[in-house]
Amino acid sequence: MDEVFRLGFGAGHPQSRPVQRVEEGERLALEGIGRHAFTLGERSARSGAFRETLRGVPATLRARLRQVARRLRRAYGAPPAPRRLPPLDELVLTILSQNTNDTNRDRAYADLRAKLPLWDDVADAPLPVIERAIRSGGLAPTKAPRIRAVLRALRERGIRLDDRALRRIRHDRLFDLLVGLPGVGPKTAACVLLFSLDRPYFPVDTHVHRVANRLGLVPPKATAVRTQEQLQAALAADEMYEVHMNLIRHGRHVCVALRPICSQCVLNDLCPRIGVVRSR
């Protein structure tokens, strides 16, 4: 434990203050959970935090995931490199992405930044102003208070989500910091860590969750959080981004919610079709 980081919301902000002493980050090596039965090691006091104490991912699960990853790469190619937004920008963008498509998300984000260029402006704005700015992304009455609450919580706690300040903080500490914010769950936190900071986290959205369940990669009726824990534990750090992106593409175009197109699926012979009633 060698250094105190001052994570202020903004330069010179009156509430900026020392937060905590942290150790230099070390690679989070999650070593796993079984396919149908597993125990979690000691967890953080904050719900949903994934710890280094996961153990015992079966070799068969790792092998199946690698096979799935290879076939999806042949079908969809390697995804383009992610755009690396600052962590706070990525956090707001992820909130805007909830229950909408990428086009509407990006439009709402651009409109918000045009109307309220500084995050302090958003934190201080009346909710109707924020709602109007993000209306194009849908669910504005729900997302506006979430965004403002997150920004105000960061400011009140004197936390600045800054690349340089966060670089040396250990992965699990960053995850805990994010899920400790109002309305931020494991998926949103993992998106910020993976896309903005290139940390080894595996977000699970509705498409990834659906495909993983149908393939039997997770226990029956697993929650999205459990799916995230299981797949994150089984994947190497350099596999997470590509597998995440290609599972989303597969879920959007082939393994759709209603009547998946199993006849055209590159994973057809690997898939027990768990939960599939009718297919094409």
Q: Tens-of-pLDDT digits for all 280 residues of the chain?
A: 322 222 334 333 333 333 333 333 322 222 222 222 222 222 333 334 344 334 467 788 899 999 999 999 999 999 999 889 999 999 999 999 998 999 999 999 999 999 999 999 999 999 999 999 999 999 999 999 999 999 999 999 988 887 777 877 888 999 999 999 999 999 999 999 999 999 999 999 999 999 999 999 999 889 999 999 999 999 999 999 999 999 999 999 999 999 999 999 999 999 999 989 889 9
Answer yes or no: is 149 within a domain.
Answer: yes
Answer yes or no: is 144 within a domain.
Answer: yes
Distance, CA of 182 to CA of 39 (rounded, Å) = 28
Answer yes or no: is 59 within a domain.
Answer: no
Distance, CA of 240 to CA of 198 (rounded, Å) = 10
Q: What is the pTM of this model?
A: 0.78
**Over the stretch 230-263, which tens digit does the pLDDT of each residue have?**
999 999 999 999 999 999 999 999 999 999 999 9
Comparing C-alpha atoms, which of 6, 12, 1 is closest to residue 164?
6
**Over the stretch 176-196, which tens digit does the pLDDT of each residue have?**
999 999 999 999 999 999 999
Answer yes or no: is 39 within a domain.
Answer: no
Answer yes or no: is 214 within a domain.
Answer: no
Q: 166: domain range?
A: 87-196
Comparing C-alpha atoms, which of 125, 157, 160 is closest to residue 10?
160
Answer yes or no: is 178 within a domain.
Answer: yes
Tell me the catalytic residues: 187
HSE (side-chain half, CA atoms, 13 Å) at 27 = 6
Give the domain CATH number at 172.
1.10.340.30
Comparing C-alpha atoms, which of 136, 186, 196 is closest to residue 164?
196
Question: Total structural domains in the chain?
Answer: 1
Tokens 């914010």 -> residue: 181
Answer yes or no: is 16 within a domain.
Answer: no
Q: Do the beta carbons of residue 263 and residue 279 sit within 8 Å?
A: yes
Answer yes or no: is 95 within a domain.
Answer: yes
